[in-house]
Amino acid sequence: MTKIAYELKDQIACLTIQSPPANALSGALLEQLNERLEQIEEEGQAKAVVISGEGRFFSAGADIKEFTGYQHASEYESLATAGQKVFDRVEHFSIPVIAAIHGAALGGGLELAMSCHIRLVTENAKLGLPEMNLGIIPGFAGTQRLPRHIGNARAYEMILTAEPISGQQAADWGLANHVVTEEELLPRAMELANKITVKSKPGIKEVMHLVPYANKDQFANGVTEEAKSFGRVFGSDDAKEGVTAFIEKRKPNFQDK
């Protein structure tokens, strides 16, 4: 049964979570998400990814029912590690991943969204990590990614109170890039992705490689890698075309080489 629909639209890989009624993140769904990412990389045609949820929610969280059969701490640790690996792959994907969030992005749903590179939210969206209400804690790297986006103090508040925030508050706190209406959500996400796909793929990949250094407190290593990447990109055919087009005052015709 399809849980992550995939369609390629003009170099944009559109992934849609289809797990009604709440788009819960089951183990099978996470496995299929990983397979879709692998498929996108193997095909090599996309320059951006847009992830959205079908129905009323982006994703209301992990499938709690799957947890009830576990008896040992090691089983829960393995569960968390498996989810973390998938979301880590999203964060370190070779092309940008855009999350289009409507309705609820809670628990694992928010953890997935936080692993994406760009987030658009609707005005009525609710984003939160409610695990403490169940006597547990976030397990898919929520305690690590949330502070990176909004700082430690606000992360403590969100996690410990388990209270969600609105789409507007998420944008105010730096957790979302743009706030839009529900009708605008997917068109705006595709518009943003299209602005990326007209750029050169070698340059896109180098930027995706470089920016994470800033999150690792490795500025010196990051600038060293940036210089190497700059050398690789500047020697590409697309760079030559881009510079020539600039001199000739026309739009560049990139060939992704």
| Phi, psi values for residue 189, rounded to 5° | -65, -40
| Phi, psi values for residue 117, rounded to 5° | -90, -30
Which single residue is written with the structure tokens 């690590």? 144
Does the annotation count 131 as an active-site position? yes
Report the distance separating Cα 94 and Cα 92, nearest Å: 6
Report the distance separating Cα 104 and Cα 164, nearest Å: 9
Rg for the chain, CA atoms, rounded = 19
Does the annotation count 241 as an active-site position? no
Choose, from 54, 66, 91, 131, the residue flagged as catalytic: 131
Q: Which residues have CB under 8 Å from 226's CB, separation 6+?
A: 210, 213
Cis peptide before 164 (omega within 30 of 0): no
Listed residue (90, 124, 96) closest to 17, CA to CA = 90
How far apart, in Å, do the first and last CA atoms of the chain sit? Answer: 37
Choose, from 111, 184, 225, 241, the residue flagged as catalytic: 111
CA distances from 226 to 52, 80, 249 (A): 32, 33, 27
Report the distance separating Cα 232 and Cα 253, nearest Å: 19
Instruction: Give the residue numbers annotated as catalytic, written as ranges.
Output: 111, 131
